[in-house]
Chains A and B, each alone.
Chain A
């Protein structure tokens, strides 16, 4: 961040631009640099390509996500990080003309195998979206929806317990325990997003995908969510897409940098933000484009 402030907008940087532009050209055969692979991955992606109709959005991405890890995906707008995230629980299936090639496995199981049921997959891989999207139902019903859907609760008491536990884990319980049966849409933006997180963890997924979960929130609500992500990482594997580099630096263990649909670098977060291994990563985190 300091580097960013010192370089951005100063004269030398502007003059260096033509030269920099040259080095920022991406050549086709560049491989991902950094520590892409782990020993016992929760999820592993190999040579993943994603197409929208004829347009290729993701080129040949290979990376592992370790168990109980928080991996942040950063990169300029339109670099494909959200597309990549959404292919991890096959939300891209709902987009007409979207096609995923390559291999994505969770615990060694191919997620794109024909016999795999997406309903089961999405129960195992939860998702939190950019814009808080609680159902227009009560807070209770929002959280209870998943468990009811998958038949996880045996009784009403059981369900109550799941709802309370999930809301507690999402640090929302104390704020809403008096009004569980009021509309979830009446909460503030930050509370709504935590409600969505509670809803996602109510089915005890193994992994949670977060697609810019804080982009619609104010700094205080954002801080709360970030704190929550840290707590959740004790129990869940989390992949988070963010356009805020500070957020990636604060919450993640590893950071993956995407550029024009390619995965440029994956390294421990600290290293990415202090000693980026790739010139494009460096250019991005120092604010030369993005």
Chain B
């Protein structure tokens, strides 16, 4: 009797110890999750707080006269005249009219520094679209220089940054502000233009197109090759030392640092096969090499997860191995394969190191239109901008990161959604 009471006492004691251990264990788990969440939150807040400014940019209101003599053209269809035209003179003259008492070379130059040096070309594009404007005048919002943009935004935020401006420039900006002739508006350039040395004219369109072209090629190559390899290895290959060797090496390949793939691409595709540098073709090939192991491994896992009873049922009905794979294994494994492919693509989208090796780090202003046009990709664009000295590129870098992150979030969400939607329950 007393023995059993003793036992009960012991069990109760150990029970409270076990419960405490469980609580501790839960606490560790929750803490780990919170640390992870905090890291993500920190990253997002930092990037968004730095980058949100880049979606708006300063414009100046100027009275523009499309003066033929000033620009030095008389025929809008003559390419040579268009190329030689002094387009920047239009905003310059307008600024001089705005501030008539400015004199002296130095002051004039700093006055001209208020507008972007690409403003003239924007006016040229506008004129070419509306040829009737030639000789006319109109009031327009014209892109401001990046230093003006940076100062104006920081001043609006209450922490003016004027290190790159002269005292006179600051005074002019305030005068313009008082007259309502400077304002922030949506920065469409960010999404419609390619890269530029001038931060106010730089956009991510080129990088986004480059990423898109590279990824299309990567997907077209790596998905069929990866899935075929996975099916062969899982369903048809004999299980022997050779297939073990292949498996080990595929797993190795998945762990190889990505820059090595870049060097490989440089040595093989560019130096040996003479594929041009900096083009999406070679980028796609390199990223295919890098993504293949991921796709093969996830596809094999998806094939393995198809229950053997389904294979037996198909074979028992007299299906050949090929029919078994095509009719049953592949449809059931496809959601897993697609998920793997999307995750592989997301990895490839975020990859920069191997692309540096094959020249996709070049400064490319033109937006690539095809697989053989020189291009760069989003992560490399981020790398380039992060490296640039102009202060305005700081917010541009963060904005590009935000765009890249939203692509990644969309891809990963669709992977989860796809898996939930297509997965079958047994």
Known contacts A96-B239, A136-B424, A185-B426; decide if A145 and B317 are in contact (CB<8 Å). yes
B384-426 toward A: CB 8 Å interface, digit per residue (1/0)?
A: 0000000000000000000000000000000000000000111
- Asked whether, in the complex, the Cβ of B318 is within 8 Å of the Cβ of A119, the reply is yes
Please tell me which one of the listed residues B239, B307, B318, B332 contacts residue A149 in the complex, with CB atoms under 8 A apart.
B318
- Asked whether, in the complex, the Cβ of B312 is within 8 Å of the Cβ of A149, the reply is no
C-alpha spacing A122/B239, complex, angstroms? 25
B319 interface hit (Cβ, 8 Å) = yes
- Asked whether, in the complex, the Cβ of A129 is within 8 Å of the Cβ of B312, the reply is yes
Q: Which residues of A approach B to under 8 Å, CB–CB?
A: 89, 91, 94, 96, 119-123, 126-127, 129, 131, 133-136, 145-146, 149-150, 185, 196, 199-200, 203
- Asked whether, in the complex, the Cβ of B313 is within 8 Å of the Cβ of A120, the reply is no
Chain B residues, Cβ within 8 Å of A94? 311-312, 315
C-alpha spacing A116/B350, complex, angstroms? 54
Chain A residues, Cβ within 8 Å of B315? 91, 94, 122
C-alpha spacing A127/B316, complex, angstroms? 6
- For the complex formed, measure the closest distance between the CB of B388 and the CB atoms of chain A, giving whole angstroms: 55
B309 interface hit (Cβ, 8 Å) = yes
Known contacts A135-B328, A185-B426; decide if A146 and B318 are in contact (CB<8 Å). yes
CB interface residues, B 304-329, toward A, < 8 Å: 307, 309-320, 323, 327-328
Please tell me which one of the listed residues B318, B424, B426 contacts residue A122 in the complex, with CB atoms under 8 A apart.
B318
Chain A residues, Cβ within 8 Å of B332? 136
Question: Can you list 12 pairs linking A and B with CB atoms under 8 Å apart?
Answer: A120-B318, A122-B317, A122-B318, A127-B316, A133-B312, A136-B310, A136-B424, A149-B317, A149-B323, A150-B318, A199-B313, A200-B316
- Asked whether, in the complex, the Cβ of A133 is within 8 Å of the Cβ of B320, the reply is no
Shortest 10 CB-CB contacts between residues of A and residues of B: A133-B309, A122-B318, A127-B316, A123-B318, A133-B313, A146-B317, A119-B318, A136-B424, A119-B320, A131-B309
Additional A-B contacts beyond A119-B318, A131-B309 (10; CB < 8 A): A91-B312, A94-B311, A96-B238, A120-B318, A126-B316, A129-B312, A134-B313, A146-B318, A149-B317, A200-B316
Known contacts A96-B239, A136-B424, A185-B426; decide if A149 and B319 are in contact (CB<8 Å). yes
C-alpha spacing A158/B323, complex, angstroms? 23
Chain A residues, Cβ within 8 Å of B239? 96
Chain B residues, Cβ within 8 Å of A135? 310, 313-314, 328
Chain B residues, Cβ within 8 Å of A126? 316-317
Chain B residues, Cβ within 8 Å of A131? 309
Chain A residues, Cβ within 8 Å of B319? 119, 149
C-alpha spacing A135/B311, complex, angstroms? 9
- For the complex formed, measure the closest distance between the CB of A129 and the CB atoms of chain B, giving whole angstroms: 6
- For the complex formed, measure the closest distance between the CB of B103 and the CB atoms of chain A, giving whole angstroms: 84
- For the complex formed, measure the closest distance between the CB of B366 and the CB atoms of chain A, giving whole angstroms: 50
- Asked whether, in the complex, the Cβ of A196 is within 8 Å of the Cβ of B318, the reply is no
Q: A122's closest neighbor in chain B, by CB?
A: B318
B276-313 toward A: CB 8 Å interface, digit per residue (1/0)?
A: 00000000000000000000000000000001011111
Known contacts A135-B310, A149-B323, A185-B426; decide if A89 and B316 are in contact (CB<8 Å). yes
Q: B316's closest neighbor in chain A, by CB?
A: A127
Q: Which residues of B approach A to under 8 Å, CB–CB?
A: 238-239, 307, 309-320, 323, 327-328, 332, 424-426
C-alpha spacing A145/B311, complex, angstroms? 14
C-alpha spacing A135/B317, complex, angstroms? 11
Known contacts A135-B328, A149-B323; decide if A129 and B318 are in contact (CB<8 Å). no
Chain B residues, Cβ within 8 Å of A123? 317-318
Known contacts A136-B332, A185-B426; decide if A122 and B316 are in contact (CB<8 Å). yes
- Asked whether, in the complex, the Cβ of B317 is within 8 Å of the Cβ of A203, the reply is yes
- Asked whether, in the complex, the Cβ of A200 is within 8 Å of the Cβ of B317, the reply is yes
Chain B residues, Cβ within 8 Å of A134? 313
C-alpha spacing A135/B327, complex, angstroms? 10
- For the complex formed, measure the closest distance between the CB of A215 and the CB atoms of chain B, giving whole angstroms: 13
Chain B residues, Cβ within 8 Å of A127? 312, 316
Q: B312's closest neighbor in chain A, by CB?
A: A129
- Asked whether, in the complex, the Cβ of A129 is within 8 Å of the Cβ of B320, the reply is no
C-alpha spacing A126/B319, complex, angstroms? 12
Chain B residues, Cβ within 8 Å of A185? 424-426
- For the complex formed, measure the closest distance between the CB of A97 and the CB atoms of chain B, giving whole angstroms: 9
C-alpha spacing A131/B307, complex, angstroms? 11
- For the complex formed, measure the closest distance between the CB of A137 and the CB atoms of chain B, giving whole angstroms: 9
Chain A residues, Cβ within 8 Å of B425? 185
- For the complex formed, measure the closest distance between the CB of B220 and the CB atoms of chain A, giving whole angstroms: 29
Q: B238's closest neighbor in chain A, by CB?
A: A96
- Asked whether, in the complex, the Cβ of A133 is within 8 Å of the Cβ of B318, the reply is no
Chain A residues, Cβ within 8 Å of B311? 94
Of B314, B318, B425, which is in contact with the most chain A CB atoms at under 10 Å from its CB? B318
Chain B residues, Cβ within 8 Å of A200? 316-317
C-alpha spacing A196/B310, complex, angstroms? 11
Q: B332's closest neighbor in chain A, by CB?
A: A136
C-alpha spacing A40/B298, complex, angstroms? 53
Chain A residues, Cβ within 8 Å of B307? 133
- For the complex formed, measure the closest distance between the CB of A160 and the CB atoms of chain B, giving whole angstroms: 19
C-alpha spacing A133/B328, complex, angstroms? 12
Of A89, A121, A133, A149, which is in contact with the most chain B CB atoms at under 10 Å from its CB? A133
C-alpha spacing A279/B23, complex, angstroms? 60
Of A119, A185, A203, which is in contact with the most chain B CB atoms at under 10 Å from its CB? A119
C-alpha spacing A149/B319, complex, angstroms? 7
- Asked whether, in the complex, the Cβ of B318 is within 8 Å of the Cβ of A203, the reply is yes
Chain B residues, Cβ within 8 Å of A91? 312, 315-316
